[in-house]
Chain A
Amino acid sequence: MLLIALLLIPISTAAASYFARRREEMERANLTGFGLTFLIAIALAAQVLAHGTVSLANGFFYADALSALVILLTALVALVCATYSIGYLRDDQESGELGEEVEEQIAQLRMYSTLTPLFVFSMMFVAVANNLGVMWAAIEATTLVSVFLVTFYGKVTSLEAAWKYAIIGGVGLSMALFGTLVTYYAGHRLAGSDALAGLNWSVLAQHAELLDKTSMRLAFVLILMGYGTKAGLAPMHTWKPDAYSEAPVPSAAILSSAMLNCALYGLIRFYILTSRSLGTEYPSHLLLLFGLLSMGISVPFILVQKNYRRLLAYHTIDHSGIMVTALGLGGPLGTLGLMLHMTFHTIAKSLLFLCAGNVRQHFKTDLFSEIKGSVIRVMPLTGVIFLMAMLAIIGTPPFSLFQSEFLIVRAAFDGGHLLTGVLFVLFGTGVFAGALLHVGGMILGPKGDMPVAPRRPWRDGSLLALVTVLVVIGFWVPAPLLELIRGAAKVVSGQ
């Protein structure tokens, strides 16, 4: 039941927003819808902790600890962004970013508040679909829905960003579909494969050692290229900075945290099948290669970056590289690092984008050089939170991401991947220097003559809520959440 509700609520939210006439109705629909989704995600996590796995409709819907964790994180980000976007879009409406006419503005708001629940719906579908083909269709749907969120402001540059996003994503996903097809072929001699269950992950995972090995090799490469494109792994990452810097900030926050998780989720599902069929060595080499390449490529771009939203996008490329590296290291330690990192990164990265949105709306620029005066004096709350989230994301202790990155480095040295460990630390240092240099300068820079910005209840509230979560889980992860994370790691490593 919970699994169905998880899909029905976002869909009804989208419908309610589509037929709403006034801004307040849309805001209320989104807030209620995402609030309910979040509650259900918690209930689902509780159920998974109690029973192990939940499935419905003959195994068409399926959730284990891994799905429950991804769902919980998606729901959290969606709720926070819905709250934030109320203030954000009101500001846009007042400043004329949404057009001059009232009707035009309402049409824009309607588009935003309809597409966002549909976006969340497709991400939830990714996490609860058992059939790998259906999961593919849901991942493709996340791209199709979010294309028009990227073109939201209708600028020439947003069209360019959306075009790159749709075409590169489309090519990548066609490779992923090929991989899914080859996986189906690899398992098509298993009993009962003619029926729908032939592509069900739970069935394939049980009989993984019977899968055709040659086919699985090819399938994994295709899947890695395909879902890797969606996750923004180098060298298929080029759409990412464009899409993230052109989309409205709450959408960018969802894209860079929740949608990244969904793409990685698809990759992880296939990793489990491949590693059970071929052993961990083959997938792990490929994953380490792409992971380290993504981390490495992001370093120079972060060091010379002039635009803070693009800086955050390159950070996401770096972190998707970190998570793929952790997956490649595997074992109980690597997978635990991966799941912790996914959790912490989701919170910190969405927080960063929301802070960037405040800065962007107040200073009307995306460039570091044009922000006159220090953010921390003009917008004290945003400035402090921005700095804290930045310190967290580059892995400074005592924040949470330090722990997960430390775990991953430990997994690298424990597993004898010396080179990986050394490169990981090296790239991490580069990112650390670059980010601190730019963002530190922006927030703590010389005093300007801008007056102190007024308070913004919706946005400040959502920032405060999220930063509280970030700080608290740095010191103390609640026992049920830790259990869920451990459960998800166990699903991946099998130990």
Chain B
Amino acid sequence: MLMKPFLDMQFGERIITLMAALVLVLQIAVVAQRWIVTHIRIFAIQSFLLAMIAATIAWFNHAPHIYVAAALTLVVKVILVPILFERLVVRMDIREEIKPIINVPLSVVISGGLTLLGYVVAESFYKPDEPGLGHNELAVAISLFLIGFFTMINRRKALTQVLALLSLENGLFLAAISLTYGMPLIVELGILFDVLVAAMVLGILVYRIRESFESMDVSLLRRLRG
């Protein structure tokens, strides 16, 4: 009797929708706050939720290969990348983001608008008669992607831009599991490997930019023109 809800498909979908909503809330929280360490932790929690969504899907659909993708996400995006970046922050002694180009309240409103856009786009994909997750998850995924883009434009610290780039990738991961229950395993492997290497490469670049420019403000990078 106790196990019953955990076999019920609808219950599973409700859990997944709840977690996807949390992911979206976290993405908007990134836009609203200014501390880099907080940003890294939010990214870690967001990735953790995504891994949980993947695991839930694996459980309710009896698809063991999704567990592997979930476990890999956990290792790479919840543990390795945040540790790497927090160390970088400690070494460079940076705490606060400089003032964003668009102020915080307006940024949150814009993120809301982008979420709306995400829903409109997701609607055109939704086919009620097909198996697959509801359009909520896809809408959240597209919103993550768009808000990630917006953050990259709006923030000028190099590390924030890297984190925003990684949250774009989180949006893609969510889109992949909600559209097709994940890409083939080897593709997931390749993507996660690239994410890890990209985080390291960009981390090294951020560090060297900080050393040479005494700042992480990428708007200072304007010597090459024409």
Residues 116-155 of A at the B interface (beta carbon under 8 Å): 131, 133-134, 136-138, 140-141, 144, 147-148, 151
B35 within 8 Å of A by Cβ?
no
11 further A-B contacts with Cβ under 8 Å, apart from A181-B175, A184-B183, A188-B179, are: A133-B183, A133-B184, A134-B187, A160-B221, A167-B152, A174-B145, A174-B169, A181-B179, A185-B180, A305-B226, A307-B226
B226 lies within 8 A of A156 (CB): no
Expressed in whole angstroms, the Cα–Cα distance for A166 and B206 within the complex equals: 11
B198 lies within 8 A of A140 (CB): yes
A196 within 8 Å of B by Cβ?
yes
Expressed in whole angstroms, the Cα–Cα distance for A303 and B46 within the complex equals: 49
Q: Indicate which residue in B176, B213, B218, B226 contacts A181 across the interface (CB closer than 8 Å).
A: B176
Expressed in whole angstroms, the Cα–Cα distance for A200 and B201 within the complex equals: 29
Residues 93-129 of B at the A interface (beta carbon under 8 Å): 124-125
A18 within 8 Å of B by Cβ?
no
Give chain B nearest CB distance to A332 CB in angstroms.
34
Q: Which residue of A lies closest to B175 (CB)?
A: A181
Give chain A nearest CB distance to B122 CB in angstroms.
11
Q: Which residue of A lies closest to B224 (CB)?
A: A242
Most buried by A among B161, B183, B212: B183
Give chain A nearest CB distance to B213 CB in angstroms.
7
**Residues of chain A contacted by B158 (CB below 8 angstroms):** 163
Most buried by B among A181, A185, A307: A181
A301 within 8 Å of B by Cβ?
yes
Give chain B nearest CB distance to A404 CB in angstroms.
29
Residues 144-180 of A at the B interface (beta carbon under 8 Å): 144, 147-148, 151, 156-157, 159-164, 166-167, 170-171, 174, 177-178
Q: Which residue of B lies closest to A139 (CB)?
A: B194
7 contacts between A and B (CB under 8 A): A134-B190, A144-B197, A144-B201, A147-B201, A160-B223, A181-B179, A310-B226
**Residues of chain B contacted by A35 (CB below 8 angstroms):** none
Give chain B nearest CB distance to A389 CB in angstroms.
23
B125 lies within 8 A of A137 (CB): no
**Residues of chain A contacted by B202 (CB below 8 angstroms):** 166-167, 170
**Residues of chain A contacted by B224 (CB below 8 angstroms):** 157, 160-161, 164, 241-242, 245-246
A232 within 8 Å of B by Cβ?
no
A472 within 8 Å of B by Cβ?
no
A133 lies within 8 A of B191 (CB): yes
B26 within 8 Å of A by Cβ?
no
B165 within 8 Å of A by Cβ?
yes
Expressed in whole angstroms, the Cα–Cα distance for A361 and B187 within the complex equals: 43
* Chain B contact surface mostly: helix
B184 lies within 8 A of A196 (CB): yes
- Residues 450-464 of chain A, each 1 if its beta carbon lies under 8 Å from chain B, else 0: 000000000000000
**Residues of chain A contacted by B187 (CB below 8 angstroms):** 131, 133-134, 136-137, 199
- Residues 4-17 of chain A, each 1 if its beta carbon lies under 8 Å from chain B, else 0: 00000000000000
Q: Indicate which residue in B161, B165, B183, B218 contacts A174 across the interface (CB closer than 8 Å).
A: B165
Expressed in whole angstroms, the Cα–Cα distance for A259 and B172 within the complex equals: 25
Expressed in whole angstroms, the Cα–Cα distance for A148 and B200 within the complex equals: 12
A215 within 8 Å of B by Cβ?
yes
- Residues 293-334 of chain A, each 1 if its beta carbon lies under 8 Å from chain B, else 0: 000000001001111001000000000000000000000000
Instruction: Please classify how large the interface on chain B is, using the bins under 10, 10 to 19, 20 to 34, 35 or more.
Output: 35 or more
Most buried by B among A148, A166, A167, A188: A167
Q: Which residue of A lies closest to B161 (CB)?
A: A167
Residues 162-202 of B at the A interface (beta carbon under 8 Å): 162, 165, 168-169, 172, 175-176, 179-180, 183-187, 190-191, 193-194, 197-198, 201-202
Lowest 3 A-B CB distances belong to which pairs? A133-B187, A137-B190, A160-B221
Expressed in whole angstroms, the Cα–Cα distance for A171 and B152 within the complex equals: 9
* Chain A contact surface mostly: helix
Q: Indicate which residue in B162, B172, B201 contacts A178 across the interface (CB closer than 8 Å).
A: B172
A178 lies within 8 A of B124 (CB): no
Q: Indicate which residue in B169, B172, B180, B212 contacts A159 across the interface (CB closer than 8 Å).
A: B212
**Residues of chain A contacted by B161 (CB below 8 angstroms):** 167
Q: Indicate which residue in A151, A178, A196 contacts B208 across the interface (CB closer than 8 Å).
A: A151
Residues of A within 8 A of B (CB): 131, 133-134, 136-138, 140-141, 144, 147-148, 151, 156-157, 159-164, 166-167, 170-171, 174, 177-178, 181-182, 184-185, 188, 195-196, 198-199, 214-215, 241-242, 245-246, 301, 304-307, 310
B198 lies within 8 A of A163 (CB): no
Give chain A nearest CB distance to B165 CB in angstroms.
5
Q: Which residue of A lies closest to B222 (CB)?
A: A160
**Residues of chain B contacted by A181 (CB below 8 angstroms):** 172, 175-176, 179-180, 183
B184 lies within 8 A of A198 (CB): yes
Most buried by A among B169, B183, B202, B224: B224
**Residues of chain A contacted by B197 (CB below 8 angstroms):** 141, 144
With A137-B194, A163-B218 known as contacts, the answer to whether A156 contacts B183 (CB < 8 A) is no
B221 lies within 8 A of A163 (CB): yes
Expressed in whole angstroms, the Cα–Cα distance for A131 and B205 within the complex equals: 31
B150 within 8 Å of A by Cβ?
no
Expressed in whole angstroms, the Cα–Cα distance for A149 and B145 within the complex equals: 30
B145 lies within 8 A of A178 (CB): yes
B45 within 8 Å of A by Cβ?
no
Expressed in whole angstroms, the Cα–Cα distance for A38 and B208 within the complex equals: 36
**Residues of chain B contacted by A198 (CB below 8 angstroms):** 184
Give chain B nearest CB distance to A193 CB in angstroms.
8
**Residues of chain A contacted by B42 (CB below 8 angstroms):** none
**Residues of chain A contacted by B208 (CB below 8 angstroms):** 151, 159
With A137-B191, A144-B201, A163-B218 known as contacts, the answer to whether A196 contacts B186 (CB < 8 A) is yes
**Residues of chain A contacted by B198 (CB below 8 angstroms):** 140, 144, 166, 170
Q: Which residue of A lies closest to B223 (CB)?
A: A157
**Residues of chain A contacted by B152 (CB below 8 angstroms):** 167, 171
Q: Indicate which residue in A131, A171, A306 contacts B168 across the interface (CB closer than 8 Å).
A: A171
A147 lies within 8 A of B186 (CB): no
Expressed in whole angstroms, the Cα–Cα distance for A141 and B172 within the complex equals: 18
**Residues of chain A contacted by B223 (CB below 8 angstroms):** 156-157, 160
Expressed in whole angstroms, the Cα–Cα distance for A138 and B187 within the complex equals: 11
Q: Which residue of A lies closest to B178 (CB)?
A: A185
Give chain A nearest CB distance to B75 CB in angstroms.
17
A159 lies within 8 A of B209 (CB): yes
Give chain A nearest CB distance to B116 CB in angstroms.
18
B60 within 8 Å of A by Cβ?
no
Give chain B nearest CB distance to A289 CB in angstroms.
22
